[in-house]
Structure 1
Amino acid sequence: MCMGFGCNAAGIVGARIIDSPRERLIAIITNNFVPCNGRFPTLIAIITMFFVGTAGGPAQSLLSTLLLTAVIVLGVLMTFLISRLLSATILKGMPSSFTLELPPYRRPQIGKVIVRSIFDRTLFVLGRAVAVAAPAGLVIWLMANITVGDMSLLAHCAGFLDPFARLIGLDGVILMAFILGFPANEIVMPIVIMAYMATGSILELDLMSLRTLLVDNGWTWLTAVCTMLFSLMHWPCSTTCLTIKKETQSLKWTAVSFLVPTVTGILICFVVANVARLTGLA
Structure 2
Amino acid sequence: MHDEIVGALYEEASRIASRAVWQEGAERKLRWDQWLDKVLTSRIWGFPAMALLFGAVFWVTITGANVPSSLLGDLLMGTVYGWLHQGANALHAPEWLSGFLIDGVYLAMAWVVSVMLPPMAIFFPVFTLLEDLGYLPRVAFNLDRAFKGAGAHGKQALSMMMGFGCNAAGVVSTRIIDSPRERLIAILTNNFSICNGRWPTLILMATIFVAATMPPAFASAVAAATVVGIAALGVIFTLLTSKLLSKTLLKGESSVFTLELPPYRPPRVLQTLYTSLIDRTLLVLWRAVVMAAPAGAVIWLISNVSVAGNSIAHWMVSGLEPLGVWVGLNGVILVAYIVAIPANEIIIPTILMLTLNLAKSSLASQGVMLELEESDIKGVLTGLGGWTALTGINLMLFSLLHNPCSTTLLTIFKETGSKKWTLISALLPLVIGFAVCFLTASVARLLGWA
Same fold (TM over 0.5): yes
Pairing 1:238–2:375 present: no
Indicate the residue corresponding to 2:347 in structure 1.
188
1:39 aligned to which of 178, 195, 198: 198
| Residues in 1 aligned to 2:164 and 2:312: alpha-carbon distance in whole angstroms | 34
Residue 99 (structure 1) shift: 3.3
Q: Structure 2: 5+ residue runs without aligned partners?
A: 1-159, 358-364
Runs (5+) with no aligned partner, structure 1: none
2:435 pairs, out of 250, 262, 267, with 267
Mapped partners of 2:417, 2:424: distance in 1: 13
Is it true that 1:93 corresponds to 2:252 in the alignment?
yes
Aligned residue number for residue 167 of structure 2: 8
Give CA deviations for 1:157-209 in whole Å, capped at 9, x if unaligned.
11111111111111110111111121111111111110111132011111111
Quick check: 1:225 aligned with 2:396? Answer: no
SS at match of 1:218: coil
Return 179-188 or 57-66, whichever deviates more. Answer: 57-66
Establish whether residue 136 from structure 1 lines up as the match of residue 304 from structure 2: no
Greater relative contact order (Cα < 8 A, sep 6+): 1
> Relative to 1, partners in 2 of residues 1:106 and 1:172: Cα closer, same or farther, differing over 3 Å?
closer
In the TM superposition, what whole-angstrom CA distance separates every residue of 1:131-182 from its partner, at most 9, and x where no partner exists? Answer: 3221221111111122224422111111111111111111110111111121
Q: Aligned letter for 1:278?
A: L
Retained in 2: the 8 A contact 1:9–1:240? Answer: yes
2:375 is aligned to 208
Which 4+ residue blocks in structure 1 deviate beyond 6 angstroms? 102-107
Contact 2:291–2:343 under 8 Å retained in 1: no
Aligned-residue offset at 1:108: 5.2
Aligned length: 281
Q: 1:17 to 1:211 in 2, by over 3 A?
A: same
The answer to whether the 8 Å contact 1:128/1:242 transfers is: no
CA distance in 2, matches of 1:35, 1:118: 20
User: For residues 168 and 267 of structure 2, what CA distance do their matches in structure 1 show?
Assistant: 29
- For the aligned residue pairs, the C-alpha RMSD in angstroms reads 2.1
* CA distance, structure 2, for counterparts of residue 101 and residue 128 of structure 1: 35
| Higher fraction of helix | 2
- Counterpart residue identity of residue 438, structure 2: F
Distance in 2, Cα, partners of 1:109 & 1:43: 31
Larger radius of gyration: 2
- Measure the CA separation in 2 of the matches of 1:130 and 1:40: 18
Q: Which residue of 1 aligns with 2:221?
A: 62
Rounded Cα–Cα distance in structure 2 between residues aligned with 1:225 and 1:152: 29
Contact 2:185–2:242 at 8 Å: present in 1 too?
yes
* DSSP-derived class of the 1:53 partner: helix
Identity of aligned residues (%): 51
TM-score with structure 1 setting the length: 0.92
Give the CA deviation at 1:241.
0.5
The 1:108–1:219 alpha-carbon spacing in structure 2 relative to 1, beyond 3 Å, is closer
